Amino acid sequence: MQFLGKDIGANLIGGVWGQASDGATFAVTDPATGSTLGHVPSATADDTARAIDAAYAAFLKYREDPVSARAEKLRRLSALISQHQEALARIMTAEQGKPLPEARAEVASSAAYVLWFAEEARRSMGDVIPSPWAGRKLMTTRHPIGVVAAITPWNFPSSMLARKIGPALAAGCCVVVKPASATPYSALVWGVLVEMAGFPAGAVNIVTGSARVIAGELTRNPKVRKLTFTGSTEVGKMLIRDCADTVKKVSMELGGNAPFIVFDDADLDRAIDGAMIAKFRNAGQTCICSNRIFVQSGIHDAFVARLVARTEKMVVGPGAQDGVEIGPMIDDAAVEKTQGLIDDAVSGGASVLTGGGRHPQGGCFFKPTVVAGATPAMRIAQEEIFGPVAAIYRFETEEELIAQANDSTYGLAAYVYTRDLGRTFRMQDALEYGLIGVNEVLIVTPEVPFGGLKESGLGKEGGWQGLEDFLETKYTCIGGLQAQ
């Protein structure tokens, strides 16, 4: 795979592009065709340790850079991402499968996050604290935490990296990235871009390959002071445990089980538009996808009929093809898991109103599906669906709804459709979710803190909070200031 004339089938360690020390590689597949796009290195634990050493060596110098210089490089990086948006989007669609307009939007979001952190870099301020003692000054100062390990998922292979590389470089940290094996090219392109933006060798290192091998070294190595992870709750929990021995700071952006709630008084047109986006974007493979659609009984039948009609019109096909709204799922295991959840729901009494199985296009394509009559005990209610399946639950009262919506170990995103202002605020208080959209589903932007409650995560990405996680606070007390 080429990007700007460079072969990106290599890892970047300390400013040098190369292969794994034992020469091992793995194939990257286009989920729309099953064809091989190319091969990337399968890095060893020693390669990962070299990447950490390179990041540490770079950090000792990079942290001395004036903040204005860091901000200027980040602005250049943001501009480069925007300038090469089309090429970056096409690489993403090729390996991830999402429709090109979604890939373009994700690349634009990456540029926006990097620009946001270029601006936030200049606001990493400490405090001067009123002293209870005479002749002393008390203050806090902010310092970059050190070497950061970033592990990212395949569903948003660029923007999830932007939310980690952006604040890390803004804070003065250097990074070792381990991208998802399904989508390594969307990470490797960042290596080319950070070099073009003028970041020093070692500021960003990228190693691809076995998660266990690479993450094993990243979590074990004491030079890594922070791990920032986006992925499943299952893996996140293991990584938290693995970081305990060296007491690393961790940020975790984990799974979700978003309720999408439609009350009788909702604007139905708006709720349907919202449901289509919140459910089917990225073929339903989104952590903030609506996983459980709760519809109040007075509006239930009208909502379901409209949702089915819209779902049946969706255009399924290769993401690079014009007009396609749903691309392939990431791999066959994802297709099988989605099918299993539908089969379990049907065996429990739910009915498939449209879709329900593999798409005639074959391969990893799945029919956009609506399942009605789902109940909280079904697997489809308890697990992340991570596929293009809208599961609908009927409810009667607000009290019943709140209990059901919060009946999840996850707490990432929730959506509410209502025109009642009092209910809006009651929902804001009652819903145990880190992100809440009321009459809106496109609520994520660099200016706001993104992060889950409960088992959906620790820490925030974006907003002023997004920089905090990459900084340490030191307190200094300066005494002996009285006149002698």
Q: Which residues are catalytic?
A: 253, 287
CB of 385 to ligand NAP, least distance (A): 10
The SS3 assignment for 152 reads coil
β strands within 318-361, DSSP E: 351-354
- Is 55 a residue that touches ligand NAP (CB under 6 A)? no
Cβ(453)–Cβ(104) below 8 Å? no
Residue closest to ligand NAP, measured at CB: 231
The region of 9-17, 132-140, 235-243, 301-309 touching ligand NAP under the rule CB under 6 A is: 235-243
What 3-state class would DSSP assign to 107?
A: helix
How far is C-alpha 131 from the chain's CA centre? 42
User: Should residue 382 be labelled a site residue for ligand NAP when binding is judged by CB under 6 A?
Assistant: no
Query: Using the rule CB under 6 A, which residue among 238, 240, 299, 444 binds ligand NAP?
Result: 238
Helix (H, G, I), strand (E, B) or coil at 186: helix
385 touches ligand NAP by CB under 6 A: no
What is the token pair recorded at 242? 């693995």
Beta bridge partners of 146: none
Residue 64 in tokens:
């001395």
Q: Are 153 and 160 in contact (CB under 8 A)?
A: yes
Residue 238 CA to residue 178 CA, distance in Å, equals 16
Give whichever of 412 and 427 is closer to ligand NAP, judged by the CB atom: 412
Segment interacting with ligand NAP, rule: CB under 6 A, options 56-64, 131-139, 229-237, 473-481? 229-237
The Cα 468–Cα 463 span in angstroms is 10
- The residue among 99 and 231 lying less far from ligand NAP, judged by its C-beta, is 231
Question: Considering the rule CB under 6 A, would residue 154 count as an interface residue with ligand NAP?
Answer: yes
Within 255-284, the residues that bind ligand NAP by CB under 6 A are: 255-256
Q: Which residue has the tokens 């039948």?
A: 301
Candidate segments 252-260, 314-322, 399-407, 474-482, binder of ligand NAP by CB under 6 A = 252-260
How many residues sit in the footprint of ligand NAP (CB under 6 A)? 30
Assigned token pair, 207: 């190693």
| 441: amino acid identity, one letter | V
Interacting span for ligand NAP (CB under 6 A) from 79-87, 180-188, 273-281, 350-358: 180-188
Q: Report the candidate in 385, 388, 383 with the shortest Cα–Cα distance to residue 368.
A: 388
Q: Which of 74, 412, 427, 467 binds ligand NAP (CB under 6 A)?
A: 412
**Chain contacts with ligand NAP (rule: CB under 6 A):** 151-156, 160, 178-182, 211-212, 215, 230-232, 235, 238-239, 253-256, 287, 384, 412, 452, 457
